[in-house]
A and B are shown apart, each in its own frame.
Chain A
Amino acid sequence: MSHPIQLMRTQPFPIQLLDLTLLQLTNVRWAWRGTLLLGVLAPLIFMGLAAGLAQSNTATLGYVLTGNVVLSLLFSTLGNVSNNFSYMRESGTLDYLATLPVQRVALIIATAIAFLLLSLPSTLISLVAGKLLLGLDLVVSPLVLMVLPLIGLTLAGLGALIGVISRSSQEAGSVSLVMQMVLVVFGPVFVPDQSLSPLIRTVSLLSPATYAASALRQTLLGVPDRIPLWVDVLALIALTLALLWLAGQRLDWRGK
């Protein structure tokens, strides 16, 4: 007896994105507590050290606060996303998903969104704890609602790129750790850019952390910055698109 071929339907892109985000959130649920803990503790420890060095200089303490938010986002997005992509490749998850009718760009964005969502509690806790510890007055702009997710997506995009080009999860872990240190140290993240050498100031213009910290200072503390907010936002959007595109190109997906 002959049977008609019943093809499987492809869901619309937003449905793919939603399902893959849920899938990623549930598949990494074992890491929720660890992500929260690392995302809060590491910046708090750093904040304690930096606050001591800043010696109550309000401008410098502002750098410490926003720098910690960037650090928290670095730990919980860049680090986790890079590990997740290399883990997905090693565990066969990438192959499994590649046999389903889903687009790879949906997977990359869904992974970035999932870890961004996971990073938000620790980011907010870092922010509140920082304000209480450092005694700073926050002047929160509504634009922070756009800036925070944008920073998270940019850093997740960088994590995705590291994860897809690394040969193993160990390598991805090492590279992302080095990258996090480089991004924090080589740019006006924790220290005012006047304190940096001209060379580092120039190089830092390539770093997403520079624009992230600048945007946070302007939207959380209400202080003007060397780089205007609109430039920060445009730079972060451009970096996000470029990093996600590059990650998509390098992803080991359906034999490519």
Chain B
Amino acid sequence: MRVYDIHNLVKRYPNAPRAANDGISLQVEQGEFFGLLGDNGAGKSTLVRQMANLLRPTSGTITLYGQGLDSTPMYTPSRIGYMPQTGFALNNLTVAEAIYLTAHLRGLSRPDARAERERLIDLWQLGPVRHQVATQLSGGQRRLLLLATTLAATPPVVILDEPTNDLDPLRRTWVWDNVRALNRQKGTTIILVTHNVVEAEKVIDRVGILRDGRLVAQGRPSALKAAWSLRLRVDVVFAPGHVPALPVGARPSEVAPERWQFTIARSEALVYTRLLTEEAAVEDFRLSTATLEDLYLSLIDVPPDSTDAHPTLSHPIA
């Protein structure tokens, strides 16, 4: 069953130099874990705010389960849970009050809302802070509270805008596991907006990549990577104090001190292996198939020029 059907969606803000969303068309199916990736200002939050019926499109259509978002006043609110990117709306409510009132306003009876509150407090490990108001919580705890209220009463569709911001790596993994379990066990459709491509790749079924308000790619991560699999990722470690010699056209990036990363065409693998082996400053290097992050970076940035007939190493920062 199709959950969202978005057709040629355009959103222009007054006085903005370009459209925040420009001709976006995409579909999300029931039970899917759909990821929306893109750099800052790509239009991700604008898109999901329209999907949550908080913002009107300038043109184009969005249907939810086959009907317009406004087909009845309660049509969208009775089907979605939306977690915004920043802030917590009920700042002066305690953890327990915020979850209970949200669950009750979403139609649960008072005993069921109380049971839901206890379940979510346990699930998101908020027990020690259940009587604290949101303003007294740490940034991470506030995100967990926001997740708990978003998921209260188990909406069939959940939109999460950067849910793991402010969380430490251990908690992030645990959050992904919980959200994935919800998706698997209850069939909840999840629409996830994130910058964290590496973590998202572990949980999402399909992905859409936005750049400058346009959807530049969508599909299953494996299929997108397969289409891009003519490229390889190269990780190089240089000896300390040496000026790294790197291929300029491959747009290398320094991921850590003395550690650089770039992508090359598969056909160039042997040439680069020889060049890197012969380069005295190279302590270590590794060639691997491209990840979703490589694909993402290549799509949101200018694609690396890999058509050099004669790959060479040079000193881009010399």
Please name all residues of chain A whose beta carbon is closer than 8 Å to the beta carbon of B53 when the two chains form the complex.
98-99, 254-255
Please name all residues of chain A whose beta carbon is closer than 8 Å to the beta carbon of B93 when the two chains form the complex.
23, 26-27
Query: Interface stretch among B84-92, B228-236, B249-257?
Result: B84-92
Is B272 interfacial (CB 8 A cutoff)? no
A1–B188 Cα gap in the complex (Å)?
12
Please name all residues of chain A whose beta carbon is closer than 8 Å to the beta carbon of B78 when the two chains form the complex.
7-10, 101
Number of A interface residues at 8 Å Cβ cutoff, please give it. 37
Query: Interface stretch among A42-50, A88-96, A207-215, A235-243?
Result: A88-96
Residue of A5, A22, A91, A97 touching B91 (CB-CB under 8 A): A91
Residue of B1, B55, B90, B107 touching A9 (CB-CB under 8 A): B107
* Chain B residues numbered 1-34 whose CB sits less than 8 Å from any CB in chain A: 1, 30-31
A88–B53 Cα gap in the complex (Å)?
18
Q: Is the CB of B90 within 8 A of A103?
A: no
Query: Interface stretch among B97-105, B122-130, B276-284, B289-297?
Result: B97-105
* Chain A residues numbered 14-40 whose CB sits less than 8 Å from any CB in chain B: 15-16, 19-20, 22-23, 26-30
Q: Is the CB of A92 within 8 A of B154?
A: no
CB B21 to nearest CB in A, in angstroms, measures 14
Chain B residue with Cβ nearest A88: B89
Is B77 interfacial (CB 8 A cutoff)? yes
Kindly count the residue-residue contacts between A and B in the assembled complex, taking CB atoms under 8 Å apart: 109
Q: Is the CB of B56 within 8 A of A255?
A: yes
Please name all residues of chain B whose beta carbon is closer than 8 Å to the beta carbon of A93 when the two chains form the complex.
89-90
CB B226 to nearest CB in A, in angstroms, measures 27
Q: Is the CB of B107 within 8 A of A10?
A: yes
Q: Is the CB of A19 within 8 A of B101?
A: yes
Residue of B56, B89, B156 touching A7 (CB-CB under 8 A): B156
Given A100-B105, A255-B53, residue A2 in contact with residue B81 (CB < 8 A): no
Q: Is the CB of A10 within 8 A of B97?
A: no
Q: Is the CB of A10 within 8 A of B156?
A: no
Please name all residues of chain A whose beta carbon is closer than 8 Å to the beta carbon of B76 when the two chains form the complex.
99, 254
CB B167 to nearest CB in A, in angstroms, measures 19
Please name all residues of chain B whose beta carbon is closer than 8 Å to the beta carbon of A26 when the two chains form the complex.
92-93, 97
- A contact patch SS: loop
Contact mask for chain B residues 55-93; partner A; CB cutoff 8 A; 1 contact, 0 none: 110000000010000100110111111101011111111
Given A5-B30, A101-B74, residue A11 in contact with residue B101 (CB < 8 A): no
Residue of A5, A19, A95, A101 touching B156 (CB-CB under 8 A): A5
Is B36 interfacial (CB 8 A cutoff)? no
Is B207 interfacial (CB 8 A cutoff)? no
A201–B248 Cα gap in the complex (Å)?
81
Q: Is the CB of B106 within 8 A of A8?
A: yes
A56–B162 Cα gap in the complex (Å)?
66
Q: Is the CB of B73 within 8 A of A99?
A: no
- B contact patch SS: loop
Please name all residues of chain A whose beta carbon is closer than 8 Å to the beta carbon of B84 when the two chains form the complex.
92, 95-96
CB A256 to nearest CB in B, in angstroms, measures 8
Is A194 interfacial (CB 8 A cutoff)? no
Given A95-B84, A255-B56, residue A23 in contact with residue B73 (CB < 8 A): no
A16–B106 Cα gap in the complex (Å)?
10
CB A113 to nearest CB in B, in angstroms, measures 16
Is A102 interfacial (CB 8 A cutoff)? yes
Chain A residue with Cβ nearest B81: A99
Is A226 interfacial (CB 8 A cutoff)? no
Please name all residues of chain B whose beta carbon is closer than 8 Å to the beta carbon of A99 when the two chains form the complex.
52-54, 76-77, 80-82
A70–B186 Cα gap in the complex (Å)?
55
Residue of B65, B88, B101, B107 touching A8 (CB-CB under 8 A): B107
Q: Is the CB of B81 within 8 A of A103?
A: no
A10–B102 Cα gap in the complex (Å)?
12
CB B138 to nearest CB in A, in angstroms, measures 19
Is B155 interfacial (CB 8 A cutoff)? yes
Is B153 interfacial (CB 8 A cutoff)? yes
Q: Is the CB of A3 within 8 A of B187?
A: yes
Please name all residues of chain B whose beta carbon is closer than 8 Å to the beta carbon of A28 when the two chains form the complex.
92
Given A11-B107, A92-B86, residue A27 in contact with residue B77 (CB < 8 A): no
CB A254 to nearest CB in B, in angstroms, measures 5
Contact mask for chain A residues 102-114; partner B; CB cutoff 8 A; 1 contact, 0 none: 1100000000000
- A residues near B (Cβ < 8 Å) are 1-3, 5-11, 15-16, 19-20, 22-23, 26-30, 88, 91-93, 95-103, 254-256
- Other than the known A6-B156, A27-B93, A101-B77, what 6 A-B pairs have Cβ atoms closer than 8 Å? A1-B187, A9-B78, A26-B97, A92-B84, A99-B76, A255-B54
- B residues near A (Cβ < 8 Å) are 1, 30-31, 50, 52-56, 65, 70, 73-74, 76-82, 84, 86-93, 97, 101-102, 104-108, 153-156, 186-187
Q: What would 11 A/B residue contacts be, using CB atoms closer than 8 Å?
A: A2-B187, A3-B187, A5-B156, A6-B156, A8-B78, A19-B105, A22-B101, A95-B82, A99-B80, A101-B105, A254-B54
Shortest 8 CB-CB distances between A and B: which pairs? Answer: A3-B187, A9-B107, A96-B89, A93-B89, A255-B56, A101-B77, A99-B82, A8-B106
